[in-house]
């Protein structure tokens, strides 16, 4: 493996068989991938496309039917390489009678982290995933979103070089989803390699540098997100403060060059950004409702009075 290649698969295949050894499901078909150091790589596909199978093959939890996988310079079946890996499964299998501190301490002991270092990391991670107020509560009292947060902290307790995240935003509300994506980007900025599985397109688009699209166990597309999403035959121009006369001139220029004007309109934000801005404004100024311009201005010629109603006793 090259120094900057963290994960490499060569014709990696996995077939699940029944009791009699007959082929039941071909979960992965001759997958060839290279994942580089310091990038966020997305495995994208519908349910049953082979994403989780790929992750388990990289961890050595499953053995390939054909092909091979190299992780951090070692065969995926070599368990020693797992000391440098953090893993957040789709469903967090944690001891529900332990609290957050005890959970992280348990996993820290598995990695033989010295007690002083362990305590420092536990405190840092609990604050990072914003569970400081619930650090003494047993996990059985946690919501699914809180369980995902402590699951991420558990995956980072050993300060891994490679982090594998299976549906990391599952069960999170919009605020938790945004925070999870921010944490993933922070890990990349620290030089970590993150591999995340998801079928949520917006999450992958927001954080991934490159993606592989799987369907029915086969690799269908591979490349950088911006390259795959770029529409080559459409040119987009963004400007502010254009008069109606200027806009008409632009239309005329496009027509003279035999172009087709598809749209000229104001850009829109996303529902996620709108939701988060409203929540943040509400936290900054409790009790204040954001009144949009179209709500504040009464419609013209409505025939209705804009004066407040009288209060007769």
Cα–Cα distance between 112 and 110 in angstroms, integer?
Answer: 5
List the Cα angle 224/52/113 in 5-degree steps.
95
For residue 277, the model assigns a pLDDT of 65
> Which pLDDT tens digits describe the chain residue by residue (313 residues)?
667 999 999 999 999 888 887 888 889 999 999 999 999 999 988 888 888 899 999 999 999 999 999 999 999 999 899 999 999 998 878 899 999 999 999 999 999 999 999 999 999 999 999 999 999 999 999 988 899 999 999 999 999 999 999 989 888 888 889 999 999 999 999 999 999 988 777 888 889 999 888 888 888 888 888 777 776 666 667 776 778 888 888 888 888 888 776 666 655 555 556 556 656 776 677 655 554 444 444 545 544 444 454 444 3
CB 15 within 8 A of CB 65: yes
SS3 268: coil
Retrieve residue 142's tokens. 């946690």
For residue 17, the model assigns a pLDDT of 86
Retrieve residue 250's tokens. 């632009």
This prediction's pTM: 0.75
Q: Can you identify the CATH homologous superfamily of domain 5-229?
A: P-loop containing nucleotide triphosphate hydrolases (3.40.50.300)
Q: Which residues contact 50 (CB under 8 A, 6 or more apart)?
A: 14, 27, 28, 29, 31, 214, 216, 217, 218
> Using CA of residue 129, residue 188, residue 119, residue 59, what is the dihedral sign?
positive
For residue 14, the model assigns a pLDDT of 94
Cα–Cα distance between 100 and 147 in angstroms, integer?
Answer: 9
Instruction: Enumerate the domain spans of the chain.
Output: 5-229, 233-290
SS3 24: strand
Q: Which of 202, 197, 189, 187 lies closest to 273, judged by CA?
A: 202
Q: Which residues contact 73 (CB under 8 A, 6 or more apart)?
A: 1, 81
């Amino acid at each position: 493996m090259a120094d900057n290649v963290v994960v490499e698969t060569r014709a990696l295949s996995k077939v699940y068989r029944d009791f009699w050894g007959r082929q039941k499901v071909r979960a992965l078909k001759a997958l060839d991938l290279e994942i580089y150091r310091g990038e966020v790589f997305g495995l994208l596909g519908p349910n049953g496309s082979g994403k989780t199978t790929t992750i388990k093959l990289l961890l050595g939890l499953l053995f390939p039917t054909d092909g091979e996988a190299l992780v951090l310079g070692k065969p995926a079946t070599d368990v020693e390489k797992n000391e440098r890996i953090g893993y957040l499964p789709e469903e967090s299998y944690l001891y529900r009678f332990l609290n957050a501190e005890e959970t992280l301490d348990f996993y820290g002991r598995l990695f033989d982290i010295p007690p002083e270092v362990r305590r420092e990391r536990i405190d840092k991670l609990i604050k990072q995933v914003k569970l400081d107020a619930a650090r003494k509560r047993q996990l059985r009292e946690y919501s699914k979103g809180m369980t995902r947060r402590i699951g991420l902290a558990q995956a980072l307790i050993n300060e891994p070089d490679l982090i594998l995240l299976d549906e990391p935003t599952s069960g999170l509300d919009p605020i938790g989803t945004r925070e999870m994506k921010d944490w993933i980007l922070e890990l990349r900025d620290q030089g970590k390699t993150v591999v995340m599985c998801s079928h949520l397109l917006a999450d992958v688009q927001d954080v991934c540098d490159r993606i592989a699209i799987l369907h029915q166990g086969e690799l269908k597309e591979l490349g950088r997100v911006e390259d795959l999403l770029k529409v080559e035959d459409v040119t987009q121009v963004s400007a502010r403060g254009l008069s109606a006369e200027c806009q008409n001139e632009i239309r005329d220029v496009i027509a003279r060059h035999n172009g087709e004007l598809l749209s000229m309109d104001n850009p829109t934000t996303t529902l996620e950004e709108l939701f988060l801005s409203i929540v943040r404004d509400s936290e900054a100024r409790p009790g204040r409702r954001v009144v949009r311009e179209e709500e504040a201005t009464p419609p013209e010629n409505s025939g209705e009075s804009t004066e407040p109603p009288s209060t007769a006793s």
